[in-house]
Amino acid sequence: MKPFRTLLPVFLAILASCKESKPEAKQQIEAPTPSTPPLEKLAISGRHRAASTPALGPSQTNAFNTVVIDPGHGGNDEGTAWYHVKEKDTALAVALRLAKLLEANHIPCVLTRTTDTYISLDERVNIANRHPRSLLVSIHFNGSSDSSASGSSSYYFSKSPSGKFVAQVIQEALDKSHITPNRGINAQDYAVLVRTVGCAVLVECGFLSNKAEAAQFASPEGQQRIAEALLLGIMRAKPVIIIDPPETEIAKCEVYAKRLEEKEHQHRASVVSSKSAVTPNPLQK
C-alpha cells in the first residue's frame, strides 16, 4: 500500500479533531492572572498543595486536565549517548520522577512509556490525542560534537501560542532551578508537536555530551532536580487557558499534509529509481 494511502486516515482523523476543537478553540490564551504565585512559592509536594496552589476560577475551566509525559526514545532507539549515559534512560528516569510529583499534586498524568521499550511516533501521538485537553511534555537530552555545549531549551510548534507560553514558563522554571544554563525557547515543527492535537512542548533538558552535565543527569539527585523544575513549570501553566486559536490547528494540518505529500513524492522517486536500476537499459546493449 502506498504511504500516502496508509497515512491518509490518520490525517483525516486529525482534520476531524481540528473541526471538533473549533468551539473551544475560540478561547484565546490569557495572560497569567496577578494571583498566580511566583514559581518559587509553588509547592512540589501534595503536603503543601492546599496552601499554595491557586484556586481554579471560572475563566480557568479550559486549562489542561491531564499531562502526557513522553520520555523520548527507548528500546533499540537509544537517542544520544555519551560517557555511558544514554538519553533513553535519563529521559525515562526524569519522566517517572515527574509522574510521581504530579500525582502528589493531584494532577492526572499519563506516560507514553514506563519501561525501556521502543514506542513509535504514531503511538506517542495517539496516546496524547486520546486526551484532547492534555499538555504533552516530551522529555529529551541533547548531544553535540562540541563538548562544551551545555544548557536546557524548550521547543513549541511555530504557530501555537499555547505551546510558546508553556515552553516559556517551563524554561523559566528550569532557569530558576540553576541546574544548567538557559538556552531559551525555540519554534521547531517537530512531528510530535505538529501531530499532537492539544498543547505540546519538547524539552531538551541538557547536554549529555558535556561531561559535567552527563554526570549530573545520570545521578538520581540531578534527575529529581530536573523533574521538580518541570513540575513547577507545569503547575505555573496549569491555571492559564491554553487552548490555541483555530488557526493553530489549521496550520498543524497544513504542515502535516505537506509532509505527507513530500513523503509520497520521495516514495514515487524511489520506486522509479529502483525500477530503472533493475530494468536493463536498452541503450547499453
Q: How far is the CB of 227 from Zn ion (least distance, A)?
A: 17
Give the dihedral of Cα atoms 144, 147, 153, 157; nearest 10 deg. Answer: -10
Q: How far is the CB of 136 from Zn ion (least distance, A)?
A: 15
Cell numbers representing residue 268 in the block = 514515487
- 97 or 140: CB nearest Zn ion: 140
Q: Which residues contact 266 (CB under 8 A, 6 or more apart)?
A: none
- Give me the residues that bind Zn ion (CB under 5 A), please: 72, 79, 140
Contact (Cβ atoms closer than 8 angstroms) between residue 192 and residue 124: yes
Euclidean distance between CA atoms 254 and 262, whole angstroms:
12
Angle at 172 between CA 42 and CA 116, to 5 degrees: 85
- 11 or 190: CB nearest Zn ion: 190
- 138 or 171: CB nearest Zn ion: 138
- 79 or 161: CB nearest Zn ion: 79
- Nearest residue to Zn ion on Cβ basis: 140
Q: How far is the CB of 204 from Zn ion (least distance, A)?
A: 7
Per DSSP, the three-state class of 154 is strand
Residue 31, judged by CB atoms within 10 A of its CB (0-12, 13-18, 19+), counts as exposed
Q: How far is the CB of 77 from Zn ion (least distance, A)?
A: 9
Cell numbers representing residue 58 in the block = 471560572
Burial annotation 9-22 (CB, 10 A radius, 16+ → b, else e): ebbeebbeebeebe
Q: How far is the CB of 255 from Zn ion (least distance, A)?
A: 20
Q: How far is the CB of 210 from Zn ion (least distance, A)?
A: 15
Q: How far is the CB of 139 from Zn ion (least distance, A)?
A: 9
Closest Cα to residue 199, out of 245, 135, 128?
135
Cell numbers representing residue 109 in the block = 498524568
Rg of the chain on CA atoms, in Å? 21
- 72 or 74: CB nearest Zn ion: 72
- 78 or 146: CB nearest Zn ion: 78
